[in-house]
Structure 1
Amino acid sequence: MKNKYLKGAHLSERKFKEILRLFADDLTATQIANISGVSRVTINSYLKKLRHQIARYCETQHPVPVPVLTYEPRQSDLTSDHDSDTLVAVKPEVDRIVKPVIFGICRSSDRLHTEILPDVSRSMIHAATRGRSVLETQVATERLRRFNGLVDLGQYRLYRLGQTSDTHQMDDVDAFWGLTKHRLAKFKGLNRNTAYLHLKECEYRFNHRNDDLFMVLLELLKTYPLTLS
């Protein structure tokens, strides 16, 4: 069946556009499946591929080239009784032994960019917010200076680094974190395996917040269609 947005799909272009519009409206996989009549397993598969494409696009816009963190869904992700895009919060009682997911936010021109920082610890964030460096992690500490804010997703907390006097810039950082926190709360927490994809989706949505996201996504998929192979 011909579908220029989704190669190799047994799904009409019209039905795929319906799914894409529901995604643009920020509905969950279960809601999209119920409305569209397409199975949730299929919807989960499409949304994963769509989020990968969004992440790749966001990385091409990043002012500093960074590696794309990929995630391949396990079969259990596609067949679980819960939405595969549901996020599971880090529990406080294991917070000390589970490495937190930390990401940086920087503003370049009129866009915000995010980057997950696997080598950054909470102690480094605390040192950076106090204007101190940590000797054994000097290189990573220097990297933090590129960012306007850091977020510890385990604690759902934004740290403003205060490296700019541009209040508009910091307002955007605060607004982005507000959007991201709201979306993650809606999905009921954080799943470490899909944190990167959800983060990049939030980045994409924020940078296109004044646009018709459905039309923006259509343009993206005209250039970079999804494939099921």
Structure 2
Amino acid sequence: MKNKYLKGAHLSERKFKEILRLFADDLTATQIANISGVSRVTINSYLKKLRGQIARYCETLHPVSIPVAALFEREDSRLDQDDDTLVAVQSDVDKAVRPVIFGIVKIADRLHTELLPDVSRSMIHAATRGRSVLEKINTTERLRNYSGVVDLGQYRLYRLSSKPTDASGTPQMDEVDAFWGLTKHRLAKFKGLNRNTAYLHLKECEFRFNYRGDDLFTVLLEMLKSYPLTLS
């Protein structure tokens, strides 16, 4: 069946566009399946591939030092888990589990995120306190590139740059705060976060935030013309 947005699909282009519009409206996989009449298993498969393509697209705009989209997809493919039912990562409870940490940086008029698998909580705490001990492991300079760092295990944003202030010197909310607010709200609806899908959901939040003033459905269609999905 011909579908220029989804190669190898047994789904009409019209039906795929319906699913894509529901995704653009930020509905859950269950809601999309109920409205579209397509099975939940199929919807989950499409959404995972779509999020993977969004992640790759975001990486073309801001190449990351460790491109981990494919890594997370490979790890997740080994798990028999529902992509829309995520398991909480409680690293502050289980000390053996490495926390999921990412940095936020603003370049021009866009925010970009990057997972920091080699950064620990102790490094973040030291950096926010201005301790120089991190110089020994070459982490301080790297962290200074970010406006903020988020520990998803604790759902906490650490500011690494000063917030803007008004005329009276009172700190004001900026785009970093706005992005974290949106991301925290979106991820909370999953009631936790699976480590293996964290990157894809994070990049989806980045994509939605950077195109928040646009018609997301149209943006997705344009993206998929250049980066069509494949079922192989």
TM-score under structure 2 length normalisation: 0.90
> Secondary structure of the residue that 2:138 maps to in structure 1?
helix
Over 3 Å counting, the alpha-carbon distance change for 1:177 and 1:54 in structure 2 is same
1:184 paired residue number: 187
> Secondary structure of the residue that 2:145 maps to in structure 1?
coil
1:207 paired residue number: 210
- Cα deviation code 1:22-63 (max 9, x no counterpart): 10011111111111111111111111110111000101111x
Contact preservation (8 Å) 2:91, 2:99: no
Structure 2 alignment gaps of length 5 or more: none
> Secondary structure of the residue that 1:31 maps to in structure 2?
helix
Over 3 Å counting, the alpha-carbon distance change for 1:126 and 1:145 in structure 2 is same
Over 3 Å counting, the alpha-carbon distance change for 1:8 and 1:98 in structure 2 is same
> Secondary structure of the residue that 2:38 maps to in structure 1?
coil
> Secondary structure of the residue that 1:134 maps to in structure 2?
helix
1:137 CA drift (Å): 5.0
1:119 paired residue number: 118
Distance 1:135 1:146 in 2: 14
Which stretch shows the higher mean deviation, 177-186 or 88-97?
88-97
Over 3 Å counting, the alpha-carbon distance change for 1:27 and 1:99 in structure 2 is same
1:165 CA drift (Å): 5.3
2:100 paired residue number: 101
Over 3 Å counting, the alpha-carbon distance change for 1:165 and 1:134 in structure 2 is farther
1:140 CA drift (Å): 2.0
* Equivalent AA in structure 1 for residue 18 of structure 2: E
Distance 1:46 1:75 in 2: 17
2:148 paired residue number: 149
2:55 paired residue number: 55
- Cα deviation code 1:161-201 (max 9, x no counterpart): 12575889961000000000001101111110000000000
1:6 paired residue number: 6
1:196 paired residue number: 199
> Secondary structure of the residue that 1:159 maps to in structure 2?
strand
Distance 2:131 2:104 in 1: 19
- Cα deviation code 1:108-167 (max 9, x no counterpart): 000000000001000100011011133475312221010000000000000011257588
Count matched residues: 224
Distance 1:137 1:19 in 2: 50
2:18 paired residue number: 18
Structure 1 alignment gaps of length 5 or more: none
2:219 paired residue number: 216
> Secondary structure of the residue that 1:94 maps to in structure 2?
coil
